[in-house]
């Protein structure tokens, strides 16, 4: 049941993009096309889960025991940067097709605050490792959901001749705002 709460909570109730404002840059930047949105979502799922596991282990077996809690930010961001590099190298060797699909998005993820954000939140919320993994996966799904919905809408808007002043980022933010309004319907579900 706890896991259920985490899943529904992360995907719908407090969606990482629409309620927590994390990962907005790729949300605005990448979500122009459906195919790239799915690719980005996949890459984020991969890195976010991995990063959460590694940072969790580091936090509880290194930082906390040695009183180095204040090093959290610096350690986590380095871990994520290194992870992205590693994932890129490994993926290239092990699964070229997957690398082809996700490769271009990997460098972007280092500066995707959703990854660092989820890693830190996992610690802040005092999740167990397993809960953290579920939390990371759910948030990645929530991120992908928002991204994919958004990509569909923006591909549609490409054909709609939006007024000049609103074209591009303003209308994207407006859509995000209305989407966030709609997502408020999930309030109180968990």
- CB-nearer residue toward another protein: 95 or 170: 170
CB of 23 to another protein, least distance (A): 7
Beta carbons within 8 Å of 47's beta carbon, 6+ residues apart: 80, 83, 84, 87, 106, 109, 115
Residues 12 and 142 sit within 8 Å (Cβ to Cβ): yes
- CB-nearer residue toward another protein: 4 or 95: 4
Task: Find where tokens 């919905």 sit.
Answer: 149
Whole-angstrom distance, CA of residue 187 vs CA of residue 183: 8
Whole-angstrom distance, CA of residue 46 vs CA of residue 54: 13
Residues 116 and 25 sit within 8 Å (Cβ to Cβ): no
- CB-nearer residue toward another protein: 65 or 70: 70
72 part of the interface to another protein, by CB under 8 A = yes
Residue window 112-151: x/- pattern of binding to another protein, with contact defined by CB under 8 A: xx--xx--xx--x-----------------------xx--
| Number of chain positions touching another protein (CB under 8 A) | 64
Binding site for another protein (CB under 8 A): 13, 18-25, 28, 34, 70-74, 77-78, 81, 110-113, 116-117, 120-121, 124, 148-149, 152-153, 155-163, 165-166, 169-189
């Amino acid at each position: 049941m706890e896991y259920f709460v985490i899943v529904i909570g992360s995907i719908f109730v407090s969606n990482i993009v629409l309620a927590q404002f994390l990962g907005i840059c790729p949300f605005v930047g990448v979500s122009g096309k459906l195919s790239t949105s799915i690719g980005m979502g996949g890459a984020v799922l991969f890195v976010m889960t991995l990063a959460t596991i590694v940072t969790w282990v580091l936090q509880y077996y290194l930082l906390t025991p040695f009183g180095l809690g204040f090093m959290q930010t610096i350690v986590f961001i380095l871990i994520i940067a290194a992870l992205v590099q590693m994932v890129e190298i490994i993926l290239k060797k092990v699964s070229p097709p997957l690398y082809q699909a996700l490769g271009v998005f990997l460098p972007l993820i280092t500066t995707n605050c959703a990854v660092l954000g989820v890693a830190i939140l996992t610690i802040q919320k005092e999740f167990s490792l397993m809960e953290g993994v579920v939390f990371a996966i759910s948030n990645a799904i929530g991120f992908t959901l928002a991204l994919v919905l958004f990509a569909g809408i923006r591909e549609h808007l490409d054909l709609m001749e939006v007024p000049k002043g609103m074209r591009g980022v303003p209308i994207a933010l407006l859509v995000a705002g209305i989407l966030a309004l709609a997502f408020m319907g999930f309030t109180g579900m968990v």
